[in-house]
A and B are shown apart, each in its own frame.
Chain A
């Protein structure tokens, strides 16, 4: 019944081989079409439209080229000759486009993993700035100084990335040194009141204000404040100066580094800077 399938059409090509070739071609067409449609749907929100279109076309035509090479023997065309010529060209192109392919593949992985997104403040390869554009080959960053930096996606993918805005909140910290003669409880209360007043110093996670160490020249108070990541830097800048002014307004001294130097003969005398020693800045001690 199916003997006709073995009839030769031309050369060594039979009806069976021709039909097989056609079936493979149409199957490849359907698979590549379905794959690109699904890809567009999945990455629509994650990728730039232009890049997505380019990637879809590369995948579509890639599958079709593989399918065509595969079916060539079935329709009487020997691809070995093409492969030899194509191999040499391919080798040359391969070497030339090695980094491009690397960047392209890294770009695809970045778009899937999404460690950064547009508008994020990130630090990568010693570059700190806001993500302006994520393309299939490279990622563009606007530094805090307003410069444009283009980083190849392979570098982005293989480097350590610090994303300062991926979490909704971020903490900053100060060390405030006050004089030993002043009341640390009062200083901490002044700082807590300031934090309570500031709208963007978050209630939760709760701020921390505590004496961390008894330093050489001061009682060191640690101040830890959480703020929305987008407002973090502004709040940090604003609060430090406010704390300094509030502490001074409360009559609390923020001392300079100092060291009391005793002369040998003073050991027997009553301890007091006036009678026995010199108060020097740390710079002068040598």
Chain B
């Protein structure tokens, strides 16, 4: 809930926001915000204050402290959810979502389920002419990794365990996104899915003030293999597209992941 408080950044109205489970939350103000500014949300204190020749960016959260000097006369700051593959950096380009409840699907049918996925957040400075520049990446989720496949040639994946929902669950939009996963069983047998692996490339994340979403497909073709991909659509009308850091870097890489080590 946004409300007034004493301003650390001179001349700004501090923004306070806290997620309240099970209640109607006032949406999170992702921005863009005029500089200078001060924000406090979910234990994160983010300040951009005037500094010699520009601004000083500071973020403090969970014992971590970041400071950066911004040499610019003007600009705005925006926050955006991004693909959860930066913290720690360079470990993995895949996300494995383990379903808390295995999903059994009848032959030759497609069923939709909703699962959660972890988020990372970026703060970026934006100028009309110069465009956006990422300043900082952080997360409110605790990262965890796992191996998918064999020790010889498996994939190290970011690990996430999620309940399987029928309707959009109420989650903190700064911590978790909601993925609508269309599971298609193309085989002639019943199958049971316990996990799904997704690539970092081509993740199409959309966000509104109260929801971060992603649409994906999982095509099960045999008893041991499946294929996942992303759909470039928001879960609800009026959502904004999040910054795509992976796709921007490697445009040619597809979002498709072939799961040959079972599901």
Q: Is the CB of B88 within 8 A of A199?
A: yes
Q: Does B152 contact A (CB under 8 A)?
A: yes
Kindly list 6 other residue pairs between chains A and B, CB separation below 8 angstroms, not including A167-B151, A169-B156, A226-B147. Answer: A197-B142, A199-B142, A200-B88, A200-B91, A204-B147, A228-B91
Count residues on chain B whose CB falls below 8 Å from chain A CBs: 18
Q: B71-106: contact bitstring with A at CB < 8 Å (1 yes, 0 no)? A: 000000000000000001011100000000000000
Q: With A200-B91, A203-B159 in contact, is A169–B144 under 8 Å at CB?
A: no
Q: Is the CB of B146 within 8 A of A202?
A: yes
Residues of chain A touching chain B, judged by Cβ–Cβ distance below 8 Å, are 167-169, 197, 199-200, 202-205, 226, 228, 230-231
Q: Is the CB of B145 within 8 A of A202?
A: yes
Note all chain B residues with C-beta closer than 8 A to A199.
Answer: 88, 142-145
Note all chain A residues with C-beta closer than 8 A to B91.
Answer: 200, 228, 230-231
> Which of A168, A197, A230, A231 is close to B147, meaning CB atoms less than 8 Å apart?
A168
How far is it, in angstroms, between the C-alpha of A230 and the C-alpha of B159 when the chains are bound? 17
Question: Which B91-124 residues have C-beta < 8 A from chain A?
Answer: 91-92
What's the count of A-B pairs with C-beta under 8 Å?
Answer: 44
Q: Does B154 contact A (CB under 8 A)?
A: yes
Q: Is the CB of B88 within 8 A of A169?
A: no
> Could you tell me the distance in whole angstroms from the C-beta of A194 to the nearest C-beta in chain B?
13
Q: List 18 A-B contacts (CB under 8 A).
A: A167-B151, A167-B153, A168-B151, A168-B156, A169-B147, A169-B151, A169-B154, A199-B143, A200-B145, A202-B145, A202-B147, A203-B144, A203-B146, A203-B159, A205-B147, A205-B151, A228-B145, A228-B156
How far is it, in angstroms, between the C-alpha of A168 and the C-alpha of B152 when the chains are bound? 7
How far is it, in angstroms, between the C-alpha of A236 and the C-alpha of B38 when the chains are bound? 39
Note all chain B residues with C-beta closer than 8 A to A231.
Answer: 88, 91
Q: Does B8 contact A (CB under 8 A)?
A: no
How far is it, in angstroms, between the C-alpha of A231 and the C-alpha of B143 when the chains are bound? 15
Q: Does B155 contact A (CB under 8 A)?
A: yes
Question: Which B145-168 residues have C-beta < 8 A from chain A?
Answer: 145-148, 151-156, 159
> Could you tell me the distance in whole angstroms from the C-beta of B95 to the nearest C-beta in chain A?
13
How far is it, in angstroms, between the C-alpha of A205 and the C-alpha of B152 when the chains are bound? 12
- Max count, chain A CB within 10 A of own CB: residue among B143, B146, B147, B153: B147
Q: Is the CB of A167 within 8 A of B152?
A: yes
> Could you tell me the distance in whole angstroms from the C-beta of B149 to the nearest C-beta in chain A?
9
Note all chain A residues with C-beta closer than 8 A to B90.
Answer: 230
Note all chain B residues with C-beta closer than 8 A to A167.
Answer: 151-153
How far is it, in angstroms, between the C-alpha of A203 and the C-alpha of B88 when the chains are bound? 16
Question: Which B27-65 residues have C-beta < 8 A from chain A?
Answer: none
Q: Is the CB of B88 within 8 A of A168?
A: no
Smallest CB-CB A-B distances: 5 pairs:
A203-B146, A199-B143, A204-B146, A228-B156, A203-B159
> Could you tell me the distance in whole angstroms from the C-beta of A115 to the nearest C-beta in chain B?
14
> Could you tell me the distance in whole angstroms from the C-beta of B225 to the nearest C-beta in chain A?
18
Note all chain B residues with C-beta closer than 8 A to A205.
Answer: 147, 151
Note all chain A residues with C-beta closer than 8 A to B156.
Answer: 168-169, 202, 228
Closest to B159 in A: A203
